[in-house]
Amino acid sequence: MLFEKIKSPGIAHISYLIGDGNEAIVVDPRRDIDIYLEKAVEEGYKITKIFETHRNEDYIIGSTELKAKTGAEIWHADEMLDYQYGKPVEDGQEFMVGRLKFEAMHTPGHTPGSMSYILYGYEGDPWMVFTGDALFAGDVGRIDFLGEENLEKTGSWLYDSIFNKILPLGDEVILCPAHGAGSVCASAISDREWTTLGIERKLNPKLQVDSKEEFIELHGEMLEYPPYFENMEASNLTGGDPLASYEKPAALSPDEFAEAMEDDDTYVLDVRMEVSYASAHVPGSISIPLQNLPSFVGWFIPVGAKVLLVTEGEYPEKAIKHLYRTGYDDILGYLSGGIISWHMAGKKSESVNTVTVDKLCTLLDTEPEDRFILDIRSEDEVESEGEIKDAENIHLTQLPEHYDELPEDVPLYIFCGSGLRSMTAASLLQNEGFINQRVVLGGLIAWNSTTCPIV
């Protein structure tokens, strides 16, 4: 038997490759599909079927890419939507893959037509269940995509799906969700790598309820999501353009890079670490360090924009994959030689002031000058980690809506958990004309100010 759990960092997406008897299926494939092809070929399997658990919002599905390479059948959920590819799977429909049986089970809530897939073992009992975004380790799928007016309805659907369909499969059944910790498809997914329905029944906070009404009250909330989600929803009905049709982004000389920047629809994205960006960067660029790219690019760069990349000078393979997965296809190229080549060509650069967290604590306790502390952590982080007294909390994703509330005449200290997100905030503010911002390098663990304690 073949079983591979394939994770996509950043969006915390998980897909699965399962096979038996030389035949294999893929559940919720990502857009860059080489990993499925390589693993299947290495193990001697042919991919014949593709199962989608729901119409995804946070990444472009790779089903049509995979079908083009393998000829595999595509079975999609949410049959009421106007899909331009594949066939709608039906509740109770069964599929054989070698000696393994899969059964589709309608589990609405996250979306109206969400499907889970039960994998039966060789003995005929449920062995695993692929739940998509219905049930996660430590959380359940968000139910707000149909609007606040439908929270009670979608919450009721999800409760029935989990408590009346998924959990009754048995405590010993292995849970295989479509996302891990860090996904925007739920608010508090656990970092448990492997879990079972029994573990979730016991430990999942969202399942510790006595009634459907309590479940809806606990879980029925509107969560924020980036603007690019709407584009994902549309693309995932058509299947998106094949990646094979795109040319490899070019290495651009400083002059070519500067010329490309002149287009108003072009965004310069710097994916280096925060200290590199602070030292010197291309004017007008946005700092989103590589590890944060999938989580935040959709908030600050519109889908359809042309993108130029700045790295340490190397080909930005990982950044390009992250962008393609989230629908940013118009990548013009990257700065060949990095910021050093930019300087050698005599081009202007800018910098961002930084301060270590212990230095800021000392300043707060010893110097009376006016200052403004901007805490860009999320509300959940503030609640769990502690609030900095006298700091203004504006989550990074909401910052553009609050520029007019920030002072321009006093030092503006930007604080997050480490400094990575703070540099993104600083780059946005710099592009808006702010000149007094200073990124706080370090995290909450190092905070020891007596004037502005953690409360």
Which tens digit of pLDDT belongs to each residue from 194-243?
999 999 999 999 999 999 999 999 999 888 888 888 888 899 999 878 88
What is the spatial distance between Cα 73 and Cα 95, in angstroms, rounded to a whole number?
11
For the chain, give the percent of residues with pLDDT over 90. 80
Domain boundary among 311, 344, 377: 344
Per the model's pLDDT, the better-predicted residue between 225 and 252 turns out to be 252
Domain boundary among 183, 203, 231: 231
The answer on 437 and 404 residing in a single domain is yes
The answer on 389 and 303 residing in a single domain is no
The answer on 284 and 362 residing in a single domain is no
pLDDT level of residue 169 (50, 70, 90 thresholds): very high
Token readout for 306 is 């042309």
Query: Does any domain span residue 105?
Result: yes
Predicted confidence at residue 417, as pLDDT, reads 87
For the chain, give the percent of residues with pLDDT over 70. 100
The answer on 86 and 160 residing in a single domain is yes
Q: How many CA atoms lie within 13 A of 258 on its CB side?
A: 15
The answer on 295 and 173 residing in a single domain is no
The length of the chain is 455
Residue 39 pLDDT greater than 90, yes or no: yes
Predicted confidence at residue 370, as pLDDT, reads 84
Quote the number of domains for the chain: 3
- 57-81 tens-digit pLDDT: 999 999 999 999 999 999 999 999 9
CATH code at position 426? 3.40.250.10
Query: Does any domain span residue 455?
Result: no
Nearest 5°: CA angle at 150, between 144 and 155?
Answer: 70
pLDDT level of residue 259 (50, 70, 90 thresholds): very high
The answer on 139 and 280 residing in a single domain is no
Q: How many CA atoms lie within 13 A of 247 on its CB side?
A: 5
Predicted confidence at residue 442, as pLDDT, reads 86
Residue 451 pLDDT greater than 90, yes or no: no
Supply the mean pLDDT for the chain.
Answer: 94
Query: Does any domain span residue 454?
Result: no
pTM of the model: 0.92
Query: Does any domain span residue 117?
Result: yes
CATH code at position 66? 3.60.15.10
pLDDT level of residue 363 (50, 70, 90 thresholds): confident
Mean pLDDT of 365-386: 87
pLDDT level of residue 182 (50, 70, 90 thresholds): confident
Predicted confidence at residue 183, as pLDDT, reads 82
- 335-350 tens-digit pLDDT: 999 999 999 999 999 9
The answer on 190 and 312 residing in a single domain is no
The answer on 398 and 323 residing in a single domain is no
What is the spatial distance between Cα 214 and Cα 37, in angstroms, rounded to a whole number?
45
DSSP per residue, 247-284: PPPEEE-HHHHHHHHTSTTEEEEE-S-HHHHHH-B-TT
Query: Does any domain span residue 238?
Result: no
Query: Does any domain span residue 451?
Result: no
- 298-307 tens-digit pLDDT: 999 998 899 9
Cα–Cα nearest to 189, from 202, 171, 177, 199: 177
User: Contact at 8 Å (CB) between 350 and 280?
Assistant: yes
Residue 188 pLDDT greater than 90, yes or no: no
Neighbouring CB atoms inside 10 A of 153's CB total 15
The answer on 391 and 325 residing in a single domain is no
- 128-164 tens-digit pLDDT: 999 999 999 999 999 999 999 999 999 999 999 999 9
Query: Does any domain span residue 241?
Result: no
What is the spatial distance between Cα 27 and Cα 20, in angstroms, rounded to a whole number?
15
Nearest 5°: CA angle at 41, between 40 and 42?
Answer: 95
Query: Does any domain span residue 453?
Result: no
The answer on 258 and 204 residing in a single domain is no
Contacts of residue 393, Cβ cutoff 8 Å, sequence gap at least 6: 375, 376, 377, 379, 382, 387
The answer on 337 and 363 residing in a single domain is no
Domain assignment of residue 295, given as a range = 246-344
Residue 368 pLDDT greater than 70, yes or no: no
Predicted confidence at residue 394, as pLDDT, reads 97
Token readout for 206 is 């969202």
The answer on 195 and 260 residing in a single domain is no
Contacts of residue 248, Cβ cutoff 8 Å, sequence gap at least 6: none
Domain boundary among 314, 344, 374: 344
